[in-house]
Amino acid sequence: SGVERLGDMIANAGIIVPFTGAGISTECGIPDFRSPGGIWTRNRPIPFDEFVASQEARDESWRRRFAMEEVFAAAKPGRGHRALASLHRAGKIPAVITQNIDNLHQASGFAADRVIELHGNTTYARCIGCGQDYQLDWVKRRFDQDGAAPNCTACDEPVKTATISFGQAMPEDQMQRATELSQACDLFIAIGSSLVVWPAAGFPMMAKNAGARLVIINREPTEQDDIADLVIHHDIGEALGPFVGN
């Protein structure tokens, strides 16, 4: 079966680099973006230029974030996260590349500098002007006091979740590290992503072109199944559960 072949490929690979999307966190209660009931089936994305230009857009963006707080706060690593953490401890996975913003790879045992966050992190906030970090609690208090999304106390520019919105520049250092890892690995495993959002979706092909074998694990077909050496159309928790060690 696909999962047995995956086991052989994992056993035989030196360096494995996982690349994760929202599908690895759905069993943790966090919805993905494009499945039925996904975030973008309910809300239109707020592009970065709109966030910058409009107080109303900033208020709406923060209202959405506060509405998700219980979900994010309660979420614990799932079988997929735990399997990757086991392989990390076993020395097979140097770091994980993720499009996710939920901090669950860190929670599963990866040090912060071993999680390459292409789209940032939603568990804290950051000023879009000077880059100062803020806790979500601070934003919530200010929002409740003023009835509006706050600006930075240092430079008066808007404060946003520390995530990357559509139209916002990608984090250069993370892109660089993801490039190096993709080109250095023997086995690249794309897990739980529809692989439609670029430039992130370019890493599987980059790994493949540099000589890695490519595995895609996703319930639904993806845009890039045809370039993969192995495609597992299966639930991630089921497919990776056998690799959860101790």
Nearest-approach distance from CB 159 to Zn ion, in angstroms: 8
Radius of gyration of the chain from Cα atoms? 18
Cα–Cα distance between 9 and 14 in angstroms, integer? Answer: 10
Task: Kindly name the residue from 81, 119, 233, 234 that is annotated as catalytic.
Answer: 119
Binding stretches for ligand OAD (CB under 6 A)? 21-23, 26-27, 32-35, 38, 99, 119, 164, 166, 192-194, 197, 218-220, 235-236
Among 129, 171, 241, 242, binds Zn ion (CB under 5 A): 129
Task: Provide the β-strand partners of residue 121.
Answer: 162
Q: How far is CA 61 from CA 65, 74, 131, 209, in A?
A: 6, 21, 18, 38
Cα–Cα distance between 22 and 20 in angstroms, integer? Answer: 7
90 contact choice in Zn ion, ligand OAD, none (CB below 5 to 8 Å, kind-dependent): none
Nearest-approach distance from CB 150 to Zn ion, in angstroms: 11
Assess 152 for contact with Zn ion (CB under 5 A): yes
Among 127, 162, 190, 232, binds Zn ion (CB under 5 A): 127
Active site residue 88: no
Cβ contacts of 134-141, under 8 Å, gap ≥ 24: 134/159, 136/65, 136/69, 136/161, 139/62, 140/66
Q: Which residues lie closer than 8 Å to 19 by C-beta, 6 or more apart?
A: 96, 97, 98, 99, 182, 188, 189, 190, 191, 193, 203, 204
Assess 74 for contact with Zn ion (CB under 5 A): no
Nearest-approach distance from CB 237 to ligand OAD, in angstroms: 6
Ranges within 156-175 binding Zn ion (CB under 5 A): 157
For residues 129 and 171, which CB has a smaller minimum distance to Zn ion in the complex? 129
Point out the residues that are catalytic.
Answer: 119
Residues lying near Zn ion in the complex (CB under 5 A) are found at: 127, 129-130, 132, 152, 154-155, 157
